[in-house]
Amino acid sequence: MEKFTTLSGVAAPLPLINVDTDMIIPKQFLKTIRRTGLGKHLFHEMRYDASGKENPDFVLNKPAWREAKILVAGDNFGCGSSREHAPWALLDFGIRCVIAPDFADIFYNNCFKNGILPIRLPQEQVDLLMDDAERGANATISIDLENQQITGPDGGMIRFEIDAFRKHCLLEGLDDIGLTLQKSTAIKNYEDRVSQDMPWL
Domains of the chain: 6-197 (3.20.19.10)
Q: Per 3-state DSSP, what percentage of the chain is helix, strand, and coil (rounded to 5)?
A: 40, 20, 40
Task: Report whether pLDDT(37) > 70.
Answer: yes
More reliable by pLDDT, 105 or 181: 105
pLDDT at position 181:
67
What pLDDT digit, counting tens, does each position of 53-98 carry?
999 999 999 999 999 999 999 999 999 988 899 999 999 999 999 9
Express each pLDDT in 131-186 by its tens digit: 999 998 778 999 999 999 999 999 999 999 999 999 999 999 997 776 666 666 77
Q: Does the pLDDT at position 125 exceed 80? A: yes
Rounded to the nearest 10 degrees, what angle do helices 105-113 and 85-93 cross at?
Answer: 50
- Residue 196 — very low, low, confident or very high, per pLDDT cuts 50/70/90? confident
Torsion angle (degrees, nearest 10) of CA 163, 167, 173, 175: 0
* Average confidence score pLDDT of the chain: 93
Partners of 9 in beta bridges = 141
What is the three-class DSSP state of 130?
A: helix
Q: Tell me which of 5-19, 97-111, 147-161, 186-200 is least confident.
A: 186-200
User: Whole-angstrom Cα distance, residue 14 to residue 130?
Assistant: 8
Question: Which has the minimum average pLDDT: 5-14, 32-41, 54-63?
Answer: 32-41
Note the pLDDT of residue 180: 66
Q: Are 147 and 19 contacting, i.e. CB atoms less than 8 angstroms apart?
A: no
Q: What is the mean pLDDT of residues 112-141?
A: 94
Amino acid found at 192: D
CA quadruple 140, 143, 114, 109: dihedral sign: negative
